[in-house]
Chains A and B, each alone.
Chain A
Amino acid sequence: MKVKEIIHSKWFFIVTALLPMLIFYIIFCVVPKITAFYYPFTEYDGISAPVMVGMKNFKILAHDFDLWASMKNNVFFWSITMPLNFFIALIVAYILSQKNYPTANFYKTLYYLPAILPGVIIALMWQFAYHGRYGIFNALLNLIGVNVGEKYWLTHDLYAKLALILPMVWSGWATNMLIFMGAINSVPVSLYESAELDGASDTVKLFKITIPVIWETMKTMIFLGIAGLFGAFELILIMTNGGPAGATEVVGTYMYKIAFGAEGVAAFGYAAAIGLILFLILSTISIFAFRFMDRGDAIELGG
């Protein structure tokens, strides 16, 4: 009788219903985040127990030329793809929301399609598209009269860097488009109507009405875009694996190689130290941007 009472009590329900989620959350989400502050101060090959080495990893890291070169590549990719993703999305979203073309919904669906495809397929597809002899990219260039011969885009250091931007934008911009469309559709119709009565052109309406009203959303998106600084890691890992000769190496691929690379012993401590530096850089920029933009509602949008 007593057991049954306990089983049917409110407290028993709360504990049994909440505990599974909490246990899984703590083990698989919280623990890796906490140990991310421990392993950077150790030397750990994954076989023998980790040894505390103090700041040693960070001293090596400060003079690791390859690491800072890969960080520069992150900045390179980010500083090109983020504005592209942003402005293409803004323009397309404006046209789709304002023009009422009957095809608007069809285009919205189609444009967003690459964003939902498996990352591995996107990367492999583009890798083959850049193939010198059989890839569609050169075939397309030929079609519009640009003959580059059998150019293998991913084996030349500068071309590889430029070639990676296309799939990044191809699969990345449409997410911004959807957010912009949501924001633009919330602009009061009456504003446009009175502007149209005054004979305002589309450009005037975009700059005088739409952008000022969705300004807050745009700031939030810039803020969220900062988190993309170390993104596109999988794409690069598959398409070039950082090559040729480190030309497209980003922090993610570099860290991956140190931790899981085939050659030598896995240096988990050092790789974790790079992870911690990434975390600190992102947090610093985010806090800075957050205060600079004076944002409180970034949370609403998600990211």
Chain B
Amino acid sequence: MARKEQGQSGMVKRQNVGDYILRGLLALWALIIILPLIWVIYTSLKTNQEFFMSAWGWPKTLQWNNYLIAWKELGIGQSVLNTVYLVVGSMLLNTFLLSTGCYVLARFKFPGSNLIYWFIVGSYFVTGLNTMVTGYILMRQLNLLNSLTGLIAFYAAQPLVFNTLILTAAMKGQPKELEEAAYIDGATYWQTFFHVGLPLSAPTLLTINILNFMRFYNDFLHPLLFIRDESKFPLSVAIYSMSQAMAYRSDWVTLFAAFVIMMIPTITIYAVFQKNMTNNLMVGSLKG
């Protein structure tokens, strides 16, 4: 804070040509970054005729109808339902597996507890493309292909490694007194977990679930590999297959409306939870 004040008082004096150039460059860079998104948004509000005439021209009247068409005719509505089921289911299952497991790892010492912790956290660096094929074979052998519930089971397990690292550390830092008091009052271990241990770790679970949401909602590869029936497609794959069909019908504006529909939840979550997501430690996990 000291630096900020010092800097701001100094800024008045030092605001020179260089600063204006730098600030101009920052603004230009922002414009370049935002431009493709702006393009998609305003194209989604044009008619196809307007769009084919000029990339820059503004729509005469805003065609909100495009969104209705995308929702109904392109079948976005069904995909949204599939996505809600998939994402919410995966988040709940991951949270359940994670919070119970990490609570044990954080609070109870028993022979092998450390070993189990490292068994999970240790494979942190062993990730990547090399399990694309074997993951598919596994799902096939388990008869979980072409099933959203199967994908939920798969998803729920994927972020366990990183999330265990975060949540176990957070739970170890929680005060033990409340739990001890609960035991003295005769609460069982499960009761203590649900009424004391779990609520205390809510802030960490919130951050974890924001990241989980982004991970599950944005994923494209796994539904592409695992889901066959169009009626079960989540948004990411549904929009991809729509754009493939664009080769036969050039209805760009409706497709762009679908793009915007898919971006709305992501951007909303980002706008609301920006602080949780730009936190240094969390950035590492998004990158992985």
Give chain A's interface residues, CB within 8 Å of chain B.
Answer: 8, 10, 12-14, 16-18, 20-22, 24-25, 27-33, 35-36, 39, 44, 46, 92, 95-96, 99-101, 103, 107-121, 124-129, 134-136, 139-140, 143, 170, 175, 178-179, 182, 189, 192-193, 202, 224, 227, 230, 233-234, 238, 251-252, 255-256, 259-260, 268, 271-272, 275-276, 278-279, 282, 286, 299, 301-303
Contact = CB atoms under 8 A, between A and B. Distances in A.
A10 B108 contact: yes
Contact of B140 (A31, A46, A103, A276): A46
B283 interface: yes
Interface string B168-198: 0000000000000000000011100100000
Given A28-B157, A36-B130, A120 B236 contact: yes
A275 B132 contact: yes
B100 A17 contact: yes
Given A14-B110, A35-B134, A259-B133, A116 B284 contact: no
Nearest to B18: A202
B64 interface: no
B96 interface: yes
Given A24-B153, A124-B240, A136 B36 contact: yes
A39 B134 contact: yes
B123 A32 contact: no
B67 interface: no
A192 B267 contact: no
5 contacts: A22-B101, A36-B131, A259-B136, A302-B162, A302-B283
Contact of A136 (B39, B133, B136): B39
A32 B237 CA distance: 23
Given A46-B137, A275-B130, A20 B97 contact: yes
Nearest to A88: B29
A132 to B, nearest CB: 12
A111 B283 CA distance: 14
Interface string B40-74: 10000000000110111000000000000000000
Contacts of A107: 26, 30
Contacts of A178: 278, 280, 283
B17 interface: no
Given A35-B138, A256-B132, 16 more contacts: A21-B98, A21-B120, A27-B138, A32-B135, A36-B133, A100-B8, A109-B278, A113-B33, A114-B33, A116-B267, A120-B220, A134-B51, A134-B55, A238-B240, A275-B131, A302-B281
Main SS class of interface, A? helix
Given A182-B280, A233-B129, A18 B30 contact: no
A10 B160 contact: no
Given A110-B34, A256-B132, A14 B108 contact: yes
B97 A108 contact: no
B182 to A, nearest CB: 13
A282 B130 CA distance: 10
Contacts of B97: 20-21, 24-25
B92 to A, nearest CB: 13
Given A20-B96, A182-B280, A136 B35 contact: yes
Of B110, B134, B220, most buried by chain A (CB within 10 Å of CB) is B134
Contact of B39 (A109, A113, A129, A192): A129
B114 interface: no
Contacts of A16: 190
Contacts of A103: 23, 26
B231 interface: no
Given A251-B129, A275-B130, A117 B266 contact: yes
Contact of A18 (B40, B104, B190, B284): B104
B230 interface: no
Contacts of B39: 129, 136
Contacts of B124: 299
A179 B283 contact: yes
A116 B134 contact: no
Given A17-B104, A275-B132, A189 B2 contact: yes
Given A20-B100, A28-B157, A303 B220 contact: no
